[in-house]
Amino acid sequence: MEVTAQEVAEWMVKEIRSTGTLYQTDAIEYVKTHFGEQFVFVNENGNTSLSKEVKKAFRKLHGGRIAWDRDGFFWAWT
């Protein structure tokens, strides 16, 4: 069965709900291993990132209740 960006985003929200935070490195590792390489890419700065589809679905799902900490490279429940 084909995994969707929506399912990846749902996993992220569930993870943040249960632990309070989700580090980008952990998210990328988990997503690559459990959902597939198609949901990650290397951006223009040479950093591995989640796909735009995943980020879009993720933003829709949390509706502003999760914030990105750019210094710590993690998402946290607000």
End-to-end Cα separation, the chain, in angstroms: 33
Please state, in angstroms and as integers, the Cα–Cα distance from residue 29 to each residue in 53, 55, 63, 64, following that order: 17, 16, 24, 24
Could you report the per-residue pLDDT of 45-64, keeping only the tens digit for each? 998 999 999 999 999 999 99
pLDDT along the chain (78 residues), means of 10: 94 97 97 97 93 97 96 95
Q: How many domains does the chain have?
A: 1
CATH of the domain at 28: 1.10.10
Per-residue pLDDT at 23: 98
Domain that includes residue 70, residue range: 5-77
> Is residue 49 a contact partner of residue 37, using CB atoms and an 8 Å limit?
no
Question: pTM of the predicted model, to two decimals?
Answer: 0.93
Strand residue runs (E) in 1-78: 21-23, 40-42, 48-50, 66-69, 74-77
